Amino acid sequence: MLALVANRSVRPYLLLVIIAVALWIFDRGRGQFFTTATAFSVLQQFATIGPIALGLGLSMIIREFDLSVGGMLSLSGCIAVLTGAHYPALGVALAVLCGLVWGAFQGTMMVWLRLGSIGVTLGGLLTLGGLAYVVTGNLSISYPRMDVALAVNNPVLHVFSLRSLVALAAFLAAAFFMARTRAGRDVYATGSDRRAAMVAGVRTAAILPAVFACSGMLAALGGALLSYSLAAASGVALTDALVPATASAIIGGVSLTGGKGTPIGIVGGVLVLCLLSAGLNAIGTPPAVQDVVTGGVLLAVAIADAVDLDPRLFAMRRYWAEMFVRPAESVRSADTSAAE
Amino acid sequence: MAKKSGVNVTAAYTAEAVPLVARDAAADRDEPGGNVASAVAVRHLSKSFGPIAALKDVSLDIGSGEIRGICGENGAGKSTLVKILTGVYRPDAGNVLIGGAAVSVATPRQAQELGIAIVAQELSLCPDLSVEDNIWLGSLHVPFLHKRPDLRRRAAEALALLGAGHIDLDTPVTNLSMGERQLVEIARLLTRDARVLILDEPTATLTDIEIERIFAALLAVKREGRSVVYITHRLAEVYAICDRVSVLRNGELVTTTSLKGLDRSALIELMLGRPSDEMYPEEARARGAPALVVEGMSLPGIVNDFSMKVHRGEILCIAGQVGSGAAEIVAALAGLVHDAGGRVTVNGRPLKLGSSVRAAQRGIMFVSGDRAAEGVFRRLSVLQNLVATRLRDHSLLGFLRGGALRKAAAHLAARVGIDRRRLNARAEELSGGNQQKLAFGRSIERQAGAILLMNEPTRGIDVGARAEIYRLMRGFCEDGYALVMASSDLEEIVGVGDVVITLYRGRRIGHYRRSEVSMHRIVADITHPRETTP
């Protein structure tokens, strides 16, 4: 059981079960929580946050941080809406292409100029967000193809939609790639210890731009489909997906120190966040309280992830015992006798 | 003594060893032409960096199935030679021959293709990846879908050949000991069909038992007909494992010679180019008052009921293998172990352990052997490093007084023997020995009765710089310091300790004065402790 909790890919799913049970208890049999509507809503949110969380998670696995996904989400939505009126697929393709080019550009800059990802992608976030205003002329532009908007959103098998199925497919592809392919292994190696990977012969200089290109493409894909589903795009709306995406990657078991985490774990992390939001909504909790609950869950996961949690807890217990409970000497002798 | 017991271990491992894929040996035999005996050779290699000649006209022949030791002080050209062989540097003149034919080794990747591989001091394993993934990491022959049964089998075979068949291929490398990691690294090179393995100071962080395993593994590699280039500062290891030794000095090859009939002091003389003067300074003349008294120290899970008494003007050496608790005792005294218990008295007043700030206020200084993590500030200048602990003495109203700092730093540099012209150099540009001197210089206190703690103070430092550091330590003694040193280097323990306390798995085994100490007894204590303690 403990091994299951320690497994980073399993933990988010345990959390998911715990939260579902808790919400069900709070619902007190009113039947507002366990409905297909809630499930559909969870998966719709998943489709919005999921691709960004995956891209961000991949960048965190190589011990970098792609902040620019927030801006890419806005810009790609605008590009898709502006270019996809006749051929919706063309709009998506152009948006994804834009994500790929921008991501590769950022990664290449980091490799060539030895830059840190936070600075470069923060610049990217602002630039792309600004560009979204520029291309829309600071207006909300509507997407004329209501048929596409409906097709993207219509329920499939009651709970899925085309959008959430695309997001799930992206996760499955990423999971296979990371677990089975040499390149996936090299991505983990790069995040685990970049110097060691480089010395061993991994081409880390190619891994970095590739991961950022993936991250850019995923954000663009998510942004394009989201704008189609809203039948509108503007510079304003979409930049605040960054925080939930980061939170879900962390809840999903991705480590900020790199080399750890799986796409399947990130799915769990995103679902935890979406379930909390949709579930609390369903049982009628005010939005501000939702933020408090979500923040609490994230904090708990962050604490559980502490590198040397056990020794620190031990030290704290000891400190408290010495300060407040018993005089120092008696604690010492008790501990030594226990050790023997 | 250690080496005699080692031979048995070696025999046990080699008996179990399984030959690696036969195909490799066949490929070696088919190698065309040239000098059959020499696997790799260099001819008239020269390399300069600006005005400094790092290598001057060096020629070497390393035979198939030979283990060749390379000795020399820091700056003798060993690492330049290695970097040319592994394609990091290109020589200004001369060339590299493989199987008698001149080849170009322009990049590390080319070196890998030519079968030249290196185990560097810093290992290149990724801690979160499994052993199997690490073994094949970066190999040119892994297909895109990399989980293949035949790759797994070959990884297991390579580990078995090295006597490390017990290592689970799926466990993350972060769970392995340093010695096991080294074996995984060597296994990686074997799967890459390396014909020449270069090992750069492979044993610096290993225990004696792990070293024996590495030696056994190298002998297995040798029996496969592959060659090993073994670079070390520990001369005992050269005698234990190498067939011949090449000595470099100031970029020139002094000699390549068989080890038979060459005694240790002759080898040191070849390295230094002068008769080896007093390596270890004489023992402390007089003992002062007890400066540090430790009673009943316990570190949960590591050390039980450890006591000692250190007098001013003497060097007390805690001898133990890595993991015996010697290093942890020193760290605890420095205040770096949060759950340390026991009574500690410094100059007659009790000290509560567990805070490095409190320890420093009482005049306890700590010089770590882990220079990269706990030693000098690598990015700061020599000057900034030297005055780092005494900024308050040289400031006015919180503003630093540049001139006074510079003067103080120059004084300290002279005291520890660092060229004062290097005050503005960054610490990371200094050699390991000089970095360690820097750490000593920073620790010089004016406070009377100061205590200097050291953990493996000469790890990875060459013979010449070692002697200087030992002299420096003796100088501290004469100034009334009490010195406590944890070490696993037998020669050093016997050479510098005025009092030696031996430790085995957290238990104090023996206590010797300088006159009673012998290498034999210490080895016996730290490897096979007797039941009764004297």
Tens of pLDDT, residues B209-225? 888 888 999 999 999 88
Q: Which residue of A has its CA nearest to B186?
A: A200
- Max mean pLDDT among A73-77, A171-175, B113-117, B258-262 falls in A171-175
Tens of pLDDT, residues A142-154? 998 889 999 998 9
**Closest Cα of chain B to A197: distance in Å?**
6
- Edge-first strand order for the sheet with B315-319 is B364-367, B451-455, B482-487, B315-319, B499-504, B507-513
Any chain A CB within 8 A of the CB of B141? no
Tens of pLDDT, residues A63-79? 999 999 999 999 999 99
* Tokens representing residue A288 in the block: 């501000």
Backbone angles phi, psi at B444, to 5 degrees: -65, 125
Greater confidence, A323 or B331? B331
pLDDT of A15 above 60: yes
**Which of B531, B529, B523, B528 is closest to B3 using CA atoms?**
B523
Any chain A CB within 8 A of the CB of B90? no
**Which of B254, B246, B203, B260 is closest to B68 using CA atoms?**
B246
CA–CA dist B193, B197 (Å, integer): 10
pLDDT class for B381, splitting at 50, 70, 90? confident
Q: Which residue of A has its CA nearest to B117?
A: A200
Tens of pLDDT, residues B58-108? 999 999 999 999 988 766 788 889 989 988 888 999 999 988 888 888 888
The long-range contacts involving B30-36, CB below 8 angstroms and separated by at least 24 positions, are B31/B99, B32/B99, B32/B101, B33/B99, B33/B100, B33/B101, B34/B97, B34/B99, B34/B100, B34/B101, B35/B61, B35/B99, B35/B100, B36/B64, B36/B100
* Tokens representing residue B5 in the block: 């017991």
Comparing CB atoms, the residue among B123, B125, B133 nearest residue A185 is: B133
* Tokens representing residue A192 in the block: 């685990």
Greater confidence, B233 or B291? B291
Any chain B CB within 8 A of the CB of A183? yes
The pLDDT of B382-403, averaged and rounded, is 79
- Look-up of token digits 């902040």: A67
Q: How far is CA B120 from CA A143, A194, B21, B200, B528, in A?
A: 60, 16, 25, 5, 32
Tens of pLDDT, residues B470-500? 888 888 888 888 899 998 877 788 888 889 9
- The predicted pLDDT at position A128 comes to 93
pLDDT class for A315, splitting at 50, 70, 90? confident
Q: How far apart are the first and last CA of chain B?
A: 21
- The predicted pLDDT at position B30 comes to 36
- In this prediction the ipTM stands at 0.86
Residues paired with B298 in a beta bridge: B341
The pLDDT of B336-344, averaged and rounded, is 85
* Length, in residues, of chain B: 534
Q: Look at A192 and B126 and tell me if their CB atoms are within 8 Å.
A: yes
The pLDDT of A275-280, averaged and rounded, is 89
Q: Which residue of B has its CA nearest to A259?
A: B128
Q: Which residue of A has its CA nearest to B147?
A: A180
Tens of pLDDT, residues B309-333? 998 888 999 988 777 888 889 999 9
**CATH architecture type of domain A2-305:** Orthogonal Bundle (1.10)
The pLDDT of B12-37, averaged and rounded, is 38
- Chain B hits for A335, CB-CB cut-off 8 Å, are 298, 300, 339, 341
pLDDT of B27 above 50: no
- The predicted pLDDT at position A56 comes to 95
Greater confidence, B339 or A131? A131
Mean pLDDT score of chain B, rounded to an integer?
Answer: 81
Residue from A8, A178, A186 whose CB has the most chain B CBs within 10 Å, to mutate: A186
pLDDT of A222 above 70: yes
Residue from A181, A185, A207, A332 whose CB has the most chain B CBs within 10 Å, to mutate: A185
Any chain A CB within 8 A of the CB of B146? yes
- Chain B hits for A318, CB-CB cut-off 8 Å, are 338-339
In chain B, % of residues over pLDDT 70: 87
**Which of B468, B467, B533 is closest to B501 using CA atoms?**
B533
Helix H or strand E encompassing A103: helix A88-113
Helix, strand, coil % over all residues of chain B, rounded to 5? 40, 25, 35
Q: Which residue of B has its CA nearest to A334?
A: B341
* Length, in residues, of chain A: 340
Q: Look at A188 and B142 and tell me if their CB atoms are within 8 Å.
A: no
**Are the CB atoms for A261 and A8 separated by under 8 Å?**
yes
* CB-side neighbour CA atoms (13 Å) of B454: 30
Burial label for A7, CB within 10 Å (0-12, 13-18, 19+), is middle
Greater confidence, A127 or A336? A127
Question: pTM of this prediction?
Answer: 0.75
